[in-house]
Amino acid sequence: MDELKNEVTTQDVDPEVSVPTEPQTQTGDALTQGVMHERDMKKETKKQDVMKILGKIGVYLFLSVMAFIVVFPFLWMIATSLKHLSEYYDSNLDLVLFPGGPRDFHNFAEVFTETDLGRYFINTLIVGVASTFMSLIITVLSAFALSRLKFKGQNAFFAGLLATMMIPGELFTITNYKTVADLGWTNQFGDGGWFNAFLTLTLPFLVSVFYIYLLKQNFMQIPNELYLAAKVDGTTDLKYLWKVMIPLALPTLISITILKMMGAWNTYMWPKLTTTNQDFYLITIGLREAFSSADNQQPDIPLQMAAVTLVSIPLFLVFIFLRKYIMRGVSRSGIKG
C-alpha cells in the first residue's frame, strides 16, 4: 500500500505532466469578450450619436425650408406694400424684398382714400360677429342634445350629419343660392335692403357639422353622473348646460369662436355670388373689386398689397395671442374620458 501511495504521489507531482487550467482559460476569454463587447458598444453608441445629430440637422433643415416657403409670400406682401408703382414694375426689382432707398407708408394712407375700406371692415365685422354668435347657439344646443339627451333615432341622425361632411361645399353653395333666390333676398339685396343682405350673408352657413361633432366629443368627456345628480336636484337641462357643461367646455368653445370668426373674415365665394350692391361688400369682395382693372391699365399692386396687409393684421394678432386656446380646444375634444 505504501508503494502504491508513493507511486500516485510521484505521478501527481511529475513536472513533465501538464495539468490543464480550464478555469483560468475561461476567465481570460470572458475578459477578452467583455473588452471587445465594450468596444463594440462604444462604436455603436458613437454611430447612433452621429446618426441622431445628422437626423436632427436634416429635420431642422427641412423645417427651415418649409418655414421659408410659408413665410416668403408674407415677406413679399409687406415689401411690395412699401414700393412705388414704378418701382414694382421695374423688372430688376420684382423679386427684391428690401430694395434700396427710403421707405414710406404712403400706400397705407392712400388705401383709405382710394377705397371704402372702413365700410368693408364694418360690414365684415357685423356679419362675422352675428354669424359667429348664432352659430355658437346652434352648435351648443345640438351638441348637448346629441351627447346627453336620449331620443329615438339619435345615432342614425348623428350618422346622417356626419355623412354630410363628405359632400363638397360647392353643392351646398348651389342649393343655398337657389333657396335665397327663391325667397327673393338676392333681388332686394341688390336694391339696398340691409336686412335681406344680413340674412343672405349669415343664415345659409350657420350650421357646421364639424363644430357640432367637435363640441359633442368634448361634452362626452364630462361624467354623466353630474347630469343625473343635477336632474335629481331638479335642475333643468338649460341650467345644467349653462352652469356646468359650458364652463367645462370653454376652451373648445373659444376655439370654435375663433375659427368661425376667421372663416367669416376670409369668406369670398358666397359674398361674391350674392352681393350686388357695393354698400354691402365684405372686405374680401371690396378689395377684389376696388383693385380690379377694367380699362387694361396696370393695376396698382403695391396699393393692393398695402390693403391686404391691413386686412391680414387682425388675423395675425388673433392667431398669435389665441393659438393656445385653439390647440387646447382641439386636443381636448379628441379624447373621450
User: Within the chain, how many helices (H) and strands (E) appear?
Assistant: 17, 0
DSSP letter for 222, please. Answer: S
The grid cell for 216 is: 359633442
Looking at residue 25, its pLDDT comes to: 58
Distance from C-alpha of 283 to C-alpha of 289, rounded to nearest angstrom: 10
Looking at residue 8, its pLDDT comes to: 44
- The CA angle 99-100-106, to the nearest 5 degrees, is 75
Looking at residue 60, its pLDDT comes to: 94
* Phi and psi, residue 179, nearest 5°: -65, -50
pTM tops 0.85, yes or no: no
The residue ranges of the chain whose pLDDT is under 50 are 1-2, 4-5, 8-19, 94, 188-192, 335-337
Domain ranges of the chain: 35-81, 114-333
Indicate the SS3 state at residue 239.
helix
* C-alpha 278, offset from chain centre: 33
Helices 301-333, 106-114: crossing angle, 10 deg rounding? 90
- The CA angle 122-125-129, to the nearest 5 degrees, is 145
Distance from C-alpha of 155 to C-alpha of 151, rounded to nearest angstrom: 9
Alpha helix positions (H), 278-300: 283-290
The grid cell for 170 is: 360647392
Helices 209-219, 154-163: crossing angle, 10 deg rounding? 140
- 213 Rama sector, left if φ>0, alpha if ψ -120 to 50, beta otherwise: alpha
Contact call for residues 144 and 245 (beta carbons, < 8 A): yes
* Phi and psi, residue 290, nearest 5°: -70, -30
The grid cell for 92 is: 430688376
Looking at residue 142, its pLDDT comes to: 92
Distance from C-alpha of 20 to C-alpha of 163, rounded to nearest angstrom: 83
Which CATH fold would you assign to the domain 114-333?
A: MetI-like fold (1.10.3720)
The torsion angle over the Cα atoms of residues 283, 284, 290 and 293, rounded to 10 degrees, is 180
